[in-house]
């Protein structure tokens, strides 16, 4: 098999049957923003804005490097942003502006 063949044959998120090391029996308490991210996924699904299958595809579309390096809910929120751009529900510059606004709000309060 050529070095790139596996990239063609598998989605970046497709793990079944790959070689992997011992189990990592890790668990962590979800951070509040991670729970909110999960709640957002459920609400988007309920409103038929983004369903689970679209989310899964959106995560695969991040590509293998992001799938590997981002944490679980980091992948989710980036995928949601991309899917909402694709659906013309959000515009990239609109999200960038809002993110600046949110960051500014936090830096204002954290100076207190």
Partner 1 sequence: MSTHAQAHTPVPDAGDAMPSYYEIMETAVRELLVEKELIGAGEIRQMLEVMDTRTPALGSKIVARAWVDPEFRTRLLANGRATLEELGIDFFENTQLIVLENTDKVHNLVVCTLCSCYPREILGLPPDWYKMKPYRARAVKEPRAVLAEFGTVIPDDVEIRVSDSTSMIRFLVLPERPEGTENFTEEQLAALVTRDAMIGVVKASAPGKEKSR
List CB contacts of 51: < 8 A, sequence separation 6 or more. 44, 45
Give me 3's structure tokens.
């070095």
Q: How far is the CB of 72 from partner 1 (least distance, A)?
A: 6
Residues forming the site for partner 1 (CB under 8 A): 11, 13-28, 30-33, 35-40, 42-47, 49, 51-53, 56, 59, 70-74, 77-78, 80-81, 84, 89-90, 94-95, 98-99, 101-103, 106-107, 109-110
3-state secondary structure 25-60: CCCCCCCHHHHHHHHHHHHHHHCCCCCHHHHHHHHH
Q: How far is the CB of 2 from partner 1 (least distance, A)?
A: 21
2 vs 24 by CB, closer to partner 1: 24
């Amino acid at each position: 098999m050529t070095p790139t063949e596996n990239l063609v044959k598998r989605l970046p998120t497709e793990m079944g049957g790959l070689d992997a090391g011992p189990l990592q029996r890790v668990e962590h308490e979800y951070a509040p923003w991670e729970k909110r991210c999960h709640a957002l996924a459920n609400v988007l699904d309920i409103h038929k804005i983004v369903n689970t299958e679209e989310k899964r595809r959106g995560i695969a579309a991040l590509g293998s490097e992001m799938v590997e390096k981002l944490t679980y809910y980091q992948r989710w929120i980036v995928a949601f942003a991309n899917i909402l751009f694709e659906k013309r529900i959000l515009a990239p510059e609109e999200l960038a502006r809002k993110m600046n606004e949110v960051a500014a709000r936090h830096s204002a309060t954290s100076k207190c």
